[in-house]
Amino acid sequence: MTHHYDNRTIRTRIEKRRRRRKLLLLIALSLLGIVLALIWWMFTQQPSAVSQHKPAVSHQLSQSSSEIKQKVSKEPANPDESITWVRQTEPVKLPILMYHAIHVMDPTEAANANLIVSPDVFKSHLEALKQAGYYSLSPAEAYKVLTENVLPKGKKVIWLTFDDSLRDFYTHAFPLLQEYHMKATNNVITGFVENEREDMLTLPQMIEMKEKGLSFEDHTVNHPDLALSSPDIQEKELENSKTYLDQQLQQTTSTVAYPSGRYTETTITIAEKLGYKLGLTTNPGLASLDNGLLSLNRIRIMPTTTAEELLREIAVP
């Protein structure tokens, strides 16, 4: 009886121990499960937690900006620049300069005097910009600067633009831009180039300059007043010129400069529909995201604009 009783007690104890072991194993397994679940949760949550801290704009455009990055890397590299882009706390203000012709004015050109800057004055602008630590942007970089609110580390930025695809861009501006290792964008009147007007750039000249890092963007087919044109005409002007540049220069043309700065809300809607990312106006001032990407301010350069005046005008307050 005692013996039997003892046996039962031992069995009960063994069972109790087994149960305790099972319970401990269960607790250990569930703890392991919880830890694994926590690790998994942290990994899956991390990227979205980071993106929540980004400004809304850059989040929305993250896909297009990664496309832009690819485009930038396809363009010829600037040999002396390896850029680290730094996110800014204040909205970036970007000076976009507007030049037209670069040559010594002939007395017969008096009517267009305001559009002509002498090579000496242009050279003094480049010299001053270089000395003051300005980095010249490509259209893709300008898009990045505005949409991601970034600047190259330790540099100020400038976007040099030239309207009207004039021949002297090749003969006068290009050598100076090369000398100062600066990029620029020429906005092309494609119909005039196609008709091989002698005062216009030629396609081979554009291709040669593009290989050296310069950009060629859109300035319509015939340079009409878009604000006075029907939506139909506006669409043809913006679409046919883009197709020409896309095909002839093997690129995705991203920027349009509205001829004489004339545009309406309809123009912007059409430009957006056709895939333009940036629109240049003649509205005076520094450009910023506030302008709207398709209606960016520019700073008009006059023949009398001295280097000192230029630096004062583009200084970010």
Q: How far is the CB of 308 from Zn ion (least distance, A)?
A: 27
Residue least distant from Zn ion (Cβ): 163
- H-type helices in the chain, by residue range? 2-53, 56-60, 62-74, 119-131, 139-148, 168, 174-179, 190-194, 203-211, 231-248, 265-273, 307-314
Q: How far is the CB of 213 from Zn ion (least distance, A)?
A: 23
| CA-closest candidate to residue 281, choices 266, 264, 306, 302 | 264
For residue 249, the minimal CB distance to Zn ion (Å) is 19
Q: Which is nearer to Zn ion, 164 or 218 (CB)?
A: 164
Identity of the residue, 98 or 145, whose beta carbon is nearer to Zn ion in the bound complex: 98
Identity of the residue, 30 or 283, whose beta carbon is nearer to Zn ion in the bound complex: 283
Distance CA 266, CA 6 (A): 98
Alpha carbons within 13 A on the beta-carbon side of 168? 16
Q: How far is the CB of 105 from Zn ion (least distance, A)?
A: 18
Q: Name the token pair of 144.
A: 């990045």
Binding residue count for Zn ion, defined by CB under 5 A: 3
> Which residues within the stretch 241-270 sit at the binding site for Zn ion (CB under 5 A)?
259
Report the distance separating Cα 10 and Cα 20, nearest Å.
15
Residues from 286 through 315 that contact Zn ion (CB under 5 A): none
Residue 236: both structure tokens together: 């043809």
* Shortest Å, Cβ 263 to Zn ion: 12
Closest CB 261 distance from Zn ion, rounded Å = 9
C-alpha triplet 162, 165, 166: angle, nearest 5° = 95
- String of contacts with Zn ion for each residue 140-179, x by CB under 5 A: -----------------------xx---------------
Q: Are strands 296-300 and 96-99 parallel, antiparallel or unpaired?
A: parallel
CB of 153 to Zn ion, least distance (A): 35
Task: Name the residue nearer to Zn ion (CB basis): 149 or 186.
Answer: 186
Beta carbons of 279 and 285 less than 8 angstroms apart: no
Nearer to Zn ion, 259 or 279 (CB): 259
User: Which CB sits closer to Zn ion, 134 or 169?
Assistant: 169
Q: Which residue's CB is nearer to Zn ion, number 101 or number 151?
A: 101
HSE toward the beta carbon, residue 236, CA cutoff 13 A: 8
CA 160 to chain centre: 14
User: Which residues would be at the binding site for Zn ion (CB under 5 A)?
Assistant: 163-164, 259
